[in-house]
Chains A and B, each alone.
Chain A
Amino acid sequence: MSSSSLVSVNDLIKTYGEGDTATHVLKGLNLDLERGDLSALLGPSGSGKSTLLTILGTLMKPTSGRHEMLGEDLTSADDAELTEFRNRHIGFVFQFHHLLPDFTALENVVFPTAVHAGRETRAARERGRELLNRVGLGERMDYLATQLSGGQKQRVAIARALINRPELVLADEPTGNLDRESAEQVMELIGEINREEQTSFLISTHDEKIAASCRRQVLVRDGETADMNA
């Protein structure tokens, strides 16, 4: 494992269900991500992109295989350890923004810090404002999540994913639900943050244009990965 290695999975197998109804999704998948990567995860629908992201995000355990991040073996960690790890090191952006509807944009952004600290610290709010300004929503901080447009919500979700300065942000079709213009804005933003903060992004998409804006493209096919520019 090189010094800039961030994530490494080996022989990852994920099977849903058992016996006759078993779906073999990942069949011995290998993948390494480095710090500062900006990678697109490609593959036809149903190929297992979301499954892989969910496992990388420690929200689900693989059926078998090794999963390491930042030198820690995550396959043997328990729920509490994974929750803590996820909170500190991983950010998520989903296809559907998944903001908390009864909270303002700023409160949503600050959530991952506050839930760890037990309260909304002044520093967290400060960083939350900074990030909302960064994603162009300085004017909308105190709007409830339900009062924002789709593109705005997704930008709030990106700000939320970044609040704890995670090493890795996993984005599952973050633009899948947006019009072309909003989608391009979101990708631009991701590119900037990746350059400026050295945050690694792994973005699943089936949009060729969006994949092309990433430095690396990884294809999931037949339960394995193939690096397209290797």
Chain B
Amino acid sequence: MDIIKTGNLKKSYMLGKVEVKALNGVDVSIQKGEFVAIMGPSGCGKSTFLNMVGMLDIPTSGEIYVEGNDVTGMSSNKRAEYRLRHIGFIFQFFNLFNELTAIENIMFPMMLNRMPNYRKNAQELLNLVGLGDRIHHLPSELSGGQQQRVTIARSLANSPKILLADEPTGNLDTKSSKEIIELFRKLNLERGQTIVMVTHSQEIGEKADRIIHFRDGIIEK
């Protein structure tokens, strides 16, 4: 079954008086449990696509189906609720809360979700990403790769249906990048986690089940 399906998805931005067509009719189907990489040149609409699927923003036209339900046209509160329950985000730049420790960063979305036992669950997620011994470290006390692993642990806090990662290795060295991809693979295999990952790197992209190529707001081939 398709966990994500988009139909003629379009998004344009106004830059002053100029209309920028970031997405120009995208039809994509992604299966539950798939690990998909999205690749393409800079500015071709990859992040925009991820933001649409993650309901950070609303499309100009077209449909997005999650598990068969059309999710476009939701109110801002409903979209927040949707993200809270079903989506995990990982961004290129480290996006942890600076004044919260590693474990608190993971507890926070759990608290937002009103989940019980959040401290114990957050600890387990930190163990899962291999940072069980760094729970009380502040982000500034962790390396880039470690921070990104905390971000991944945080993105799993709500047991999301879909994990969306926008160039998660973009700011990491080769070794850390490899570790992150291996972590994704592990999550995908062990938990059946659906992952949609944007990347620049062919080497990283090839680790996924499938690569979707974007160009100028549409899908190539």
The answer to whether A and B belong to the same complex is no
B residues near A (Cβ < 8 Å) are none
Interface residues of A (CB under 8 A from B): none
